[in-house]
Structures are given as C-alpha cells and as structure tokens.
C-alpha cells in the first residue's frame, strides 16, 4: 500500500514565494511517486492580508493533493504548525516554511533515513547564519547557550522547524495541550530518535521575513518561560545571597559600634542599598508576574486558532 507524506506549510503573506514552493514540491513529488509515496500539501493561511489565500485556492482547485486551512486572523506560526499537524492525515508529516529556506531537495534524504535507518524523525539545522544581521545571530547564540544551562529540554542551536516525523511523533506533539506553544522546545521534550541533517543557510526566495528583532526577543522569552522554571528559582537564590550579605553587614556594624562608638553618618550609602534591594524585589516580582500571566492564559483554555475556511471537511467534522 502506498504511503503518504503530509507537507505542512504555514503561510503568512507569502504570495511571492508560494509559486516557487509549489513548483519545487511538484518536482519532489515525482521522485517520491517512484517509491510509491504520495504527497499531501496543507497550506495554513495564517490570516494573510495579501493574495496568499486566493493563490492557495487556485492551487487546490487544480490539484487534489492541495489542502488548505485559513485562519480568521493572524495567530502566529506556532498556531499554524499546530493546525497543520492536527489536520494532516499522512503516515508522515513535515513542516516546511513557504519561502524555500527549508529546501525540498532534502525530503528524500529525510524520508530514507526514517524508512531505512529506523529513526522516528529527521530534523534540520543550519550551520551558518549567512545573510542574517550579525546582532541577530549573536543573540540567537546567547539564547541557545542560556537554554542549555537552565532547561532540561534539548534545544539545538540553528535548528529549524523543518522536520519530517512519523505519525507517532505527530500524535505525541498534539497530545501536549499547552496554549503557549514553543515548538522547538516541544520537539525536544517529546523525545524520539532524531537524526540531524545540516545545511548552509539559504536565503528566502521572495518576499520578506516576518520577524523583527523585538519579535524574536519576545519569542525567546516565551521559550525560556515555557521550558524552564530557573528564573523563578533565581529570586530565591538572590534572596538567600542578600540575607547572607545582610547578616555579615550586621555583625560588622555591631562590632564597629562596640569598638568605635556610633557616629550617625552614611545616609547616601543607605539610600543606595534601599534602591538596590527595591530594584531586585521588583525584578523578582516581574519574573513571577510573567509566569503567572502565562498560567492565566493557559487556564482560559482558548482555542489556539480559529478557522475561517478550509477544504479539509471530513477531518474538521471528526474533531468537533
């Protein structure tokens, strides 16, 4: 019996790159057909404001392997990935960006690694960050180094979301019900045998990146809060440290007063200490607040996305 690979493409304002992607996928599909493997392409339109949806619909009309889901607004790539995985029906699923930064040429190598070498998933990482602003690469490296220290979950520097996985891993990922989804962490958390393929960074074929520097910065904080509780512990450790410092200072002051008397002086240093401790306290409350706010969002149990239209009828109904 033939096998099926679901290709999930989150697309947000990608009208320029989609035609290139579709052409490249068609070429790959021919190769795969020789192995009796069929493609299913699921475009997840993440509330695009350009002609992305129109383009996808045209493709779907011509090609029955093309499926789509269109969100009611922009819910973010994480939500698009979730929606794609939830609505795919293949024996395998692969996540792929619309801009050809995840070269479809690697699909065959990835598939063969799972079929012949016994892996559950094949992931990719880029070994260079060519074409990216230097400051962005620098902070990305810092982020991964930090995560390695403060989180138990494996996160690989340069890892892309481009990944082929077996059904069992897809189901595992879907079984994590969290609202704040940081997919890179979730992949590591669910485990499974993963092979890594490395390649040089490819620049996007058309259109422009959706990530601003601050967008990425906020996303990295999300990752830290979702996959590490170390910042919470940090407050306690700082508290312990400050208690020790305070105890030492008390001993010092008592001894000094006993030996030399107690002339009243030193209010500027006192002011500095109060401001410093106040700052540390506010910082710790802020950290706590971040975790509380995430918990708040989790408890609301809002859906991760709202679908405006789709041509994946059967599946949608089954889920409801």
Q: Which does 188 bind (CB under 5 to 8 A by kind): ligand UDP, Mg ion, none?
A: none
| Binds ligand UDP by CB under 6 A, chosen from 26, 51, 74, 183 | 74
Cβ–Cβ < 8 Å for 110, 184: no
- Of the listed pieces 56-64, 112-120, 209-217, 253-261, which binds ligand UDP according to CB under 6 A? 209-217
DSSP 268-319: HHHHHHHHHHHHHHHHHHHHHHHHHHHHHHHHHT--S--EEEES-HHHHHHH
Handedness of CA 297, 299, 300, 305 (dihedral sign): positive
Beta bridge mates, 126: 199
Q: Tokens for 266, please give them.
A: 């030193």
Q: How far is the CB of 4 from ligand UDP (least distance, A)?
A: 22
98 belongs to the binding site for ligand UDP (CB under 6 A): yes
80 belongs to the binding site for ligand UDP (CB under 6 A): yes
Beta bridge mates, 92: 5, 166
209 belongs to the binding site for ligand UDP (CB under 6 A): yes
Closer residue to ligand UDP in complex, CB, 10/188: 10
Q: How far is the CB of 186 from ligand UDP (least distance, A)?
A: 16
Q: How far is the CB of 307 from Mg ion (least distance, A)?
A: 24
- Of the listed pieces 35-43, 150-158, 203-211, 246-254, which binds ligand UDP according to CB under 6 A? 203-211
128 belongs to the binding site for ligand UDP (CB under 6 A): no
Compute the C-alpha angle 99/210/50, nearest 5°. Answer: 75
Q: How far is the CB of 294 from ligand UDP (least distance, A)?
A: 19
Binding positions for ligand UDP, 3-42, rule CB under 6 A: 10-12, 14
Instruction: Report the C-alpha gap between 245 and 240 in whole angstroms.
Output: 9
Instruction: Report the C-alpha gap between 123 and 164 in whole angstroms.
Output: 7
Q: How far is the CB of 106 from ligand UDP (least distance, A)?
A: 16
CA 178 to chain centre: 13
46 belongs to the binding site for Mg ion (CB under 5 A): no
| Binds Mg ion by CB under 5 A, chosen from 6, 101, 124, 194 | 101
Who contacts 119 (Cβ-Cβ below 8 Å, separation ≥6)? 113, 193, 194, 195
Q: How far is the CB of 131 from Mg ion (least distance, A)?
A: 10
Contact residues for Mg ion, defined by CB under 5 A = 97, 99, 101, 204
Contact residues for ligand UDP, defined by CB under 6 A = 10-12, 14, 46, 74, 76-77, 80, 97-99, 101, 204, 209-211
């Amino acid at each position: 019996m033939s096998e099926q690979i679901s290709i999930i493409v989150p697309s947000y304002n990608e009208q320029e790159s989609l035609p290139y992607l579709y052409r490249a996928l068609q070429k790959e599909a021919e190769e795969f057909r020789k192995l009796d493997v069929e493609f299913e392409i699921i475009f997840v339109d993440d509330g695009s404001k350009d002609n992305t949806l129109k383009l996808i619909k045209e493709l779907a009309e011509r090609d029955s392997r093309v499926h789509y889901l269109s969100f009611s607004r922009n819910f973010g790539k994480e939500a698009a990935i979730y929606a794609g995985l939830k609505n795919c029906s293949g024996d395998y699923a692969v996540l792929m960006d619309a801009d050809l930064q995840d070269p479809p040429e690697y699909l065959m190598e990835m598939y063969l690694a799972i079929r012949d070498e016994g892996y559950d998933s094949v992931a990719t990482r880029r070994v260079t960050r060519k074409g990216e602003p230097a400051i962005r690469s620098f902070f990305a490296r810092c982020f991964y180094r930090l995560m390695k220290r403060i989180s138990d979950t494996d996160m690989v520097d340069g890892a892309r979301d481009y990944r082929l996985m077996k059904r069992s891993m897809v189901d595992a990922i879907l079984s994590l019900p969290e609202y704040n989804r940081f997919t890179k962490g979730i992949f590591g958390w669910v485990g499974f045998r993963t092979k890594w393929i490395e390649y040089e960074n490819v620049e996007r074929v058309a259109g422009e990146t959706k990530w601003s520097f601050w967008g990425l910065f906020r996303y990295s904080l999300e990752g830290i809060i979702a996959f590490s509780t170390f910042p919470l512990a940090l407050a306690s450790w700082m508290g312990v440290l400050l208690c020790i410092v305070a105890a030492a200072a008390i001993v010092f002051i008592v001894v000094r007063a006993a030996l030399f008397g107690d002339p009243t002086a030193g209010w500027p240093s006192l002011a500095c200490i109060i401001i410093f401790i106040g700052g540390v306290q506010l910082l710790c409350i802020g950290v706590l607040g971040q975790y509380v706010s995430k918990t708040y969002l989790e408890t609301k149990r809002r859906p991760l996305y709202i679908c405006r239209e789709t041509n994946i009828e059967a599946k949608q109904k089954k889920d409801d």
